[in-house]
Amino acid sequence: MHLQGIIFDIDGTLLDTNDLHARCWVAAFSHFGKEIDYDLMRHQIGKGGDLLVPDLLNAREMQRFGAKLKKYRGELYKREYMREAKPFPRIKQLFEVLNARGIKLALASSAEPDEVEYYTELLGVEKLLGGSTSTKDAKLSKPSPEIFEAALGQLGTDVTKTLVVGDTPYDVLAAHRASLAVAAVLCGGFERELLAKAEFLFDRAEDIEREIEKIDAWFISE
């Protein structure tokens, strides 16, 4: 394989969690008296709280409860939403196939370390990974490229031979800011036109197994 490594986003890419996160954020904002339209919130998913919260609050609100809101949302998600997370079909099998072909695999998330650990166990891919990131690995969440750059460093693969797989326009932007090619997946619920800048576009991550030769051919010319 010319492709050396693949870095996978988790939420909305490997796990059906984007609606869970949107519902949780709406509830958390409401707890502090700030009502946010669900569709507006749904299109913010993919950013970390460090960027999402100030995007939706004004200066006074940030001063009054910005930090409290982020803390409350994290606790609320783990308490009432996280256990509802379900893997998309055939994710473990996909990782096994890619691993058998000599492709190094990493998870790239700006979630808390215990969330990433829970998700990794839920997916059953612990022994197939060459790297995994969480909020401790970057100061800023996507669309900052830091999370993907940290995962790339863990894999030790060449930037020109590594693919990112994500489901949001923030994944696409973060990958390109790190000069990484990206395969976007529609299973996270974002509109096709918002993912149009990705090098590849698939319905689900499992489609990568079927399209791996096509993907690999893209890296031959690099």
Contact partners, residue 41, CB within 8 Å, separation at least 6: 22, 25, 26, 29, 56
According to CATH, the superfamily of the domain at 5-16+85-220 is HAD superfamily/HAD-like (3.40.50.1000)
pLDDT at 107 over 60: yes
Q: Which tens digit of pLDDT belongs to each residue from 21-78?
A: 999 999 999 999 999 999 999 999 999 899 999 999 999 999 999 999 999 999 999 9
Task: Evaluate if residue 79 carries a pLDDT over 90.
Answer: yes
pLDDT confidence bin for 1, thresholds 50/70/90: confident
User: Is residue 222's pLDDT more than 60?
Assistant: no
Question: Among 63, 86, 64, 72, which Cα is nearest to 24's?
Answer: 72
> What pLDDT score was predicted for residue 187?
97
Query: How does pLDDT run across 135-185, given as a tens digit for each residue?
Result: 899 888 899 999 999 999 999 999 999 999 999 999 999 999 999 999 999
The pLDDT of residue 69 is: 98
Q: Which helix (H) or strand (E) holds 121?
A: helix 113-123
Domain locations in the chain as residue ranges: 5-16+85-220, 18-83
DSSP state of 215: H
User: What is the spatial distance between Cα 29 and Cα 204, in angstroms, rounded to a whole number?
Assistant: 31
Provide CB contacts within 8 A for 100, sequence distance 6+.
none
How far does Cα 139 stand from its chain's mean position? 16
> What is the CA angle 5-12-79, rounded to 5?
120
What pLDDT shows up at residue 51? 93
